[in-house]
């Protein structure tokens, strides 16, 4: 309840300045109440007790008595157990809620724009997309949407794995099976098989392995025919990625592609600049940077960042440094976000450290590894398919849609074929995304079909259902959504009060989620809102209320709730069906 604190703090200070409490003390003590039944905002007075030489209970009572008239119309004041408790006055809540009625943004402010590069998704060419890419794609998409909503200039970058030594064997395998067949067959089928066949030939066939190695050299020297074959692999892969992105409903498209190949001409420059800054050292024939400090290997010896391998090739640290140069110098970005799994934490720490020391980015650049945990099955193991392979993303999405379709067919047989198909896609995909986004991204997450597709609990279908219910109410209502924009919101019941409180707090939830890149904070808030709505819906007749002003007021709350849910879900990349 940031808004309530902001409004109350100066008034409290005015009320208590006589007894010698400073504004700093008030601001540091005021905070969200832990017990939300008692208060929205609380001020513990235990630390003041020592100063006044009185028990905390007496201090809180005294302060409560002094401030209550100053906060009239804003918050209701009480005291208990040494706490001053402030509960938002229903009149204040309704005034705040009414302000949001004509506001498309539901009170969410825009910030001073920063230019933010978000690096996410990053599938590999000629490889299947799996659940790891799902997390990066879904989390990245949501972060992009939140940052754009907050007014930032966001540049999406899909750093696909489209360069490097594996492409020797992939191109040779492509030649073997014939490129025409490949392009025709591979549309949305099995890349894993293609990759595995290539790998197997590389490992078992010395002649093939030698061809592959020569092919890498040709690729790196940009031989025309080799590049042409390489493009076949890239094009078929990216059109496949696009099909998956389309199915997922994320913002990524071809314009966002910035694969590793895009940085290959910058790699020698990285070496040059590190050399010039004196960071580069030779070690066992390779060029490396030793950072010292906590970065030591098993034997306690310094552990380096590999810049140029002994064979003259570059690897991923070099490529990431080239990316930083490009993003800082060509794009002039302020922030660099990397939506990549937690296992690569150390890698990014080291790369950022090298980039800073080499002056590739400045203090005011904010480079952040937006890490995420692994996807586990119900046994706490990394999620695998029945055959022990990593799960193909398309299969997973298809199953989600299929399962959603089954549920809807059973629960609402009245839907037309067309609507059912459209809605099952929204629900199935929404369920997968929400399950991923609703827990702290930095922790591992447990994948569970039944839970994510359940229409109960903290799931997308539950939230979508709340939204659909409200749309249904308006379809039966004498007043339209537009008609209630000027409504006088009257809060009479506890359920109306709780709902209004959720609606008013939406902007704060968006700010918390976007500033920390933690979408689950937004999920938690939308779920509370939905839950408050369900209670309101049971307790407060809407269309059946006999008083027209109450009807209008409650419909206004419905409108705000629906927009809170759909805007919130929208920021998570999830659609809100109007019926389901």
Residues 499-528 that bind RNA (CB under 7 A): 516, 518, 520-521, 524, 527
Which CB, 7 or 103, lies closer to RNA? 7
Listed ranges 235-243, 281-289, 360-368, 499-507: which one lies at the site for RNA (CB under 7 A): 281-289
Between CA 365 and CA 377, with CA 371 as vertex, the angle to 5 degrees is 170
- Least gap, CB of 309 to RNA (angstroms): 3
- # chain residues binding RNA, by CB under 7 A: 97
301 binds RNA (CB under 7 A): yes
Listed ranges 76-84, 180-188, 265-273, 390-398: which one lies at the site for RNA (CB under 7 A): 76-84
Listed ranges 14-22, 45-53, 111-119, 185-193: which one lies at the site for RNA (CB under 7 A): 45-53
Tell me the longest C-alpha to C-alpha distance in the chain. Answer: 90
Site mask for RNA (CB under 7 A), range 340-379, x = bound: --xxxxxx--------------------------x-x---
417 binds RNA (CB under 7 A): no
Which CB, 239 or 446, lies closer to RNA? 446
Given candidates 209, 535, 550, 570, which one binds RNA under the rule CB under 7 A?
Answer: 535
Listed ranges 234-242, 351-359, 360-368, 471-479: which one lies at the site for RNA (CB under 7 A): 471-479
Residue 436 — φ and ψ, nearest 5°?
-75, -40
Query: Which helix (H) or strand (E) is 77 found in, with range?
Result: strand 75-80
Euclidean distance between CA atoms 263 and 157, whole angstroms: 13
C-beta of residue 562 within 8 angstroms of C-beta of residue 470: yes
Query: Which helix (H) or strand (E) is 198 found in, with range?
Result: helix 191-204
- Least gap, CB of 319 to RNA (angstroms): 6
Residue 144, CB-side half-sphere exposure with 13 Å CA sphere: 23
Which CB, 2 or 110, lies closer to RNA? 2
- Least gap, CB of 63 to RNA (angstroms): 13
Which CB, 226 or 318, lies closer to RNA? 318
Contacts of 148 (CB under 8 A, 6+ apart): 154
How far is the first Cα of the chain from the last one, in angstroms, to the nearest whole number? 33
| Span 106-125, contacts to RNA by CB under 7 A | none
Contacts of 457 (CB under 8 A, 6+ apart): 451
Given candidates 285, 389, 478, 486, which one binds RNA under the rule CB under 7 A?
Answer: 285
296 binds RNA (CB under 7 A): yes
Listed ranges 104-112, 236-244, 247-255, 290-298: which one lies at the site for RNA (CB under 7 A): 290-298
Site mask for RNA (CB under 7 A), range 429-468, x = bound: ---------xxx-xxxxx-x--x--xxxxx--xx--x--x
| Span 224-243, contacts to RNA by CB under 7 A | none
Closest CA to 346 of 327, 379, 320: 320
Which CB, 99 or 196, lies closer to RNA? 196
Handedness of CA 495, 501, 502, 503 (dihedral sign): positive
Given candidates 260, 335, 508, 511, which one binds RNA under the rule CB under 7 A?
Answer: 260
Which CB, 99 or 411, lies closer to RNA? 411
Q: Extract the runs of DSSP E, i.e. beta strands, from 228-365.
A: 280-283, 286-290, 304-308, 335-341
Given candidates 15, 59, 62, 83, which one binds RNA under the rule CB under 7 A?
Answer: 83
Burial annotation 344-358 (CB, 10 A radius, 16+ → b, else e): eeebbebbbebbeeb
C-beta of residue 150 within 8 angstroms of C-beta of residue 514: yes
| Span 377-416, contacts to RNA by CB under 7 A | 380, 407-408, 411-412
Given candidates 70, 149, 316, 449, which one binds RNA under the rule CB under 7 A?
Answer: 316
Which CB, 472 or 485, lies closer to RNA? 472
Long-range contacts of 505-510 (CB under 8 A, 24+ apart): 505/1, 506/106, 506/107, 506/108, 506/564, 506/567, 506/568, 507/105, 507/106, 507/107, 507/108, 507/109, 508/1, 508/2, 508/3, 509/568, 510/108, 510/146, 510/149, 510/150, 510/568, 510/571
| Span 319-338, contacts to RNA by CB under 7 A | 319
- Least gap, CB of 180 to RNA (angstroms): 29
- Least gap, CB of 102 to RNA (angstroms): 24
Between CA 168 and CA 437, with CA 129 as vertex, the angle to 5 degrees is 145
Closest CA to 71 of 138, 7, 147: 7
C-alpha dist (Å) from residue 129 to 41, 161, 241, 392: 46, 12, 8, 6
Closest CA to 313 of 186, 511, 166: 166
Listed ranges 95-103, 187-195, 202-210, 531-539: which one lies at the site for RNA (CB under 7 A): 531-539
| Span 47-66, contacts to RNA by CB under 7 A | 47, 50, 56
Cα 138 to its chain centre, rounded Å, is: 7
């Amino acid at each position: 309840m940031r808004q309530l604190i902001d409004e109350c703090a100066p008034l409290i200070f005015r009320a208590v300045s006589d007894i010698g409490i400073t504004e700093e003390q008030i601001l540091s003590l005021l905070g969200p109440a832990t017990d939300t039944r008692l208060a929205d905002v609380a001020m513990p007075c235990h630390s003041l007790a020592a100063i006044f030489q009185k028990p905390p209970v007496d201090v809180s009572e005294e302060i409560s008595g002094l401030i209550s008239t100053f906060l009239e119309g804003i918050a209701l004041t009480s005291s208990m157990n040494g706490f001053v408790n402030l509960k938002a006055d229903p009149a204040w809540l309704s005034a705040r809620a009414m302000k949001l009625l004509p506001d498309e943004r539901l009170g969410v402010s825009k910030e001073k724009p920063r230019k933010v590069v978000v690096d996410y998704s990053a599938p590999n060419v000629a490889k299947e997309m799996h659940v790891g890419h799902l997390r990066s794609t879904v989390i990245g998409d949501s972060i992009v949407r939140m940052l754009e909503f907050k007014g930032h200039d966001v540049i999406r970058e899909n750093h696909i794995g489209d360069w490097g030594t594996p492409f020797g064997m992939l191109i040779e395998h492509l030649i073997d099976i014939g490129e025409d067949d490949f392009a025709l067959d591979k549309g949305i089928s099995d890349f894993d098989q293609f990759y595995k066949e290539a790998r197997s030939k590389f490992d078992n066939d010395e002649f093939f392995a030698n061809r592959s190695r020569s092919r890498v050299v040709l690729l790196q020297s940009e031989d025309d025919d080799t590049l042409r074959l390489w493009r076949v692999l890239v094009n078929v892969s990216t059109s496949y990625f696009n099909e998956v992105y389309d199915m997922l409903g994320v913002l990524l498209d071809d314009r966002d592609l910035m694969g590793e190949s895009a940085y290959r001409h910058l790699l020698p420059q990285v070496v040059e600049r590190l050399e010039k800054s004196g960071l580069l050292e030779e070690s066992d024939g390779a060029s490396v940077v030793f950072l010292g400090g906590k970065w030591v290997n098993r034997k306690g010896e310094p552990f380096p960042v590999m810049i140029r391998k002994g064979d003259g090739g570059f690897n991923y640290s070099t490529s990431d440094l080239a990316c930083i140069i490009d993003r800082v110098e060509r794009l002039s970005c302020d922030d660099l976000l990397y939506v990549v799994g937690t296992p690569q934490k150390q890698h990014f720490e080291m790369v950022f450290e090298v980039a800073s020391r080499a002056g590739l980015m400045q203090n005011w650049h904010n480079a952040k590894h937006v890490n995420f945990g692994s996807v586990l099955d119900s046994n706490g193991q990394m999620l695998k398919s029945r055959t022990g392979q990593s799960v193909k993303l398309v299969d997973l999405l298809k199953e989600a849609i299929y399962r959603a379709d089954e549920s809807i067919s059973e629960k609402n047989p009245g839907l037309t074929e067309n609507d059912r198909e459209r809605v099952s896609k929204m629900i199935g995909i929404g369920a997968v995304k929400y399950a991923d986004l609703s827990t702290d991204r930095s922790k591992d997450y447990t994948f569970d079909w039944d839970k994510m597709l359940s229409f109960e609990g903290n799931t997308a279908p539950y939230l979508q259902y709340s939204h659909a219910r409200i749309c249904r109410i308006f379809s039966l209502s004498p007043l339209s959504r537009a008609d209630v924009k000027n409504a006088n919101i009257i809060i009479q019941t506890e359920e109306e009060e709780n709902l209004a409180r959720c609606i008013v707090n939406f902007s704060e939830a968006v700010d918390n989620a976007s500033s920390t890149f933690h979408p689950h904070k937004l999920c938690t808030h939308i779920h509370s809102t939905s839950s408050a709505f369900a209670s309101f819906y049971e307790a407060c007749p809407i269309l059946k209320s006999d008083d027209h002003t109450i009807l209008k007021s409650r419909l206004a709350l419905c409108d705000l709730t629906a927009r809170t849910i759909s805007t919130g879900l929208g920021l998570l990349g999830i659609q809100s069906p109007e019926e389901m």
